[in-house]
Amino acid sequence: MKKRDSLFPDLGVGIGFRREFASHFSKQIPHPVSWIEVVTENYMAWENDIQPPAIKTLQRLRKEIPIVLHGVSLSIGSADPLNPSYLKRWKSLIDAVEPAWVSDHLCWTGVNGENLHDLMPLPYTEEALQHVANKIDQVQTFLKRRILIENVSSYVEFNQSAMTEWEFINELLKRADCGLLLDVNNVYVSSKNHGFNPLDYLRAIPRNRVGQIHLAGHSDLGTHLIDTHDEPICEEVWRLYEWSREHFGPVSAMVERDGNFPRWEELEKELLRVKEIQTEVSDYGYRLPQGKAAQPFEISAAL
């Protein structure tokens, strides 16, 4: 069996921890969850250095299970310089909870000090590429650790783009020496909105740079898909995850749910399906004989 030369550990099945289902974590960690991701900004000290009350929950969970921090406000793609206060408070939280890794998004969330509270896509140009690579280098130097950057979904494209999103990301991972948080649903949403083959995207990503996978649901508005995280994971995304598990190997994967919360039993079904795929597809290029995973795309040509 081939070994995966990964920069990041495989922690198994995770979930984006949200207060809506926190009660299911109050006595013990529910099966099959083996790690959790939390939103960095919910637990960082506030601007006045006061700790948010939620930090107590995080400290308790940290004693029981590995945690990763996922930020939404780094704004790595903005023309604005990095926010020193944000970096300092982020690092303090990292020192306090010792996450397995930390991540944020490949996007910009504001400019001139204004926060748009949305994950805006970048133009895929050489100028933007070097700009983001330089800023990731600053972050990694400050934190003294490699970070993961997540691909976002998008609904518009820039006329100025001179390369595809996957070419941009591939070069960024090398230039910035960072990892990728691969959101398979975002790849699917953007592939439908912009009309590309999601496998062209996934094939371009270097295997050893993928440190984590996100799985989520989206809303279909007929003319386009929106990355809402308020629906079950669709079958096409499950198939892309099966393909990704086979291609990228043992990478930590988790379910993101941010709205229209179902009963825990429904989320548990999705977590068990992640577990089942991880168990069946044990290493890249090798599928166990009893594997039942569907192969909707030209998988054999990709391996």
Contacts to Fe ion by CB under 5 A: 183, 214
The H-or-E segment that residue 74 falls in is none
SS3 label, residue 67: strand
- Comparing CB distances to Fe ion, the nearer of 89 and 105 is 105
Which residue has its beta carbon closest to Fe ion? 214
Query: Is the alpha carbon torsion for 127, 192, 238, 200 positive or negative?
Result: negative
Q: Nearest distance from residue 227's CB to Fe ion, in Å?
A: 8
- Comparing CB distances to Fe ion, the nearer of 37 and 287 is 37
Q: Nearest distance from residue 214's CB to Fe ion, in Å?
A: 4
Q: Nearest distance from residue 212's CB to Fe ion, in Å?
A: 9
Q: Nearest distance from residue 183's CB to Fe ion, in Å?
A: 4
The H-or-E segment that residue 176 falls in is helix 165-176
- Comparing CB distances to Fe ion, the nearer of 42 and 279 is 42
- Comparing CB distances to Fe ion, the nearer of 150 and 242 is 150
Q: Nearest distance from residue 185's CB to Fe ion, in Å?
A: 7
Residue 280: Cβ within 10 Å count: 17
- Comparing CB distances to Fe ion, the nearer of 76 and 287 is 76
Maximum C-alpha span of the chain: 57
Q: In sequence order, what E strands does the chain have?
A: 13-16, 35-39, 67-70, 102-105, 108-111, 114-120, 148-150, 179-183, 210-216, 219-220, 225-226, 253-256
| Residues 52, 44 contacting (CB under 8 angstroms) | yes
